[in-house]
Amino acid sequence: MQIREFMTERLYNQTFMKLVGERDPSFPKEYLIAFMTSANIGMLTHWIHSGMSLPVEELALLLTRIMYRGPLAVTRIIE
């Protein structure tokens, strides 16, 4: 829960809201936060369980790319 709270503060309140600015996203905030934090925690958990085989910098880059572009865009399913 502490990680989720930290990520909510960092990812949504500080980073995402700076990008969105005054515009109100047309998606319920609490669901967006749940998705973003769960996705990041899931990737971190996978990284730990797979022996932390990627350098932490590469993991951070993957997390950043998928959060900004979305899973379908980073896998080139959609352009």
Tell me the percentage of the chain whose pLDDT exceeds 90: 27
DSSP symbols for 53-70: -S-HHHHHHHHHHHHHH-
CA dihedral 31, 25, 79, 37 (to 10 degrees): -30
Q: Are 7 and 37 in contact (CB under 8 A)?
A: yes
Residues 35-69 pLDDT 10s: 888 898 899 999 999 999 999 999 999 998 998 88
pTM above 0.85, yes or no: no
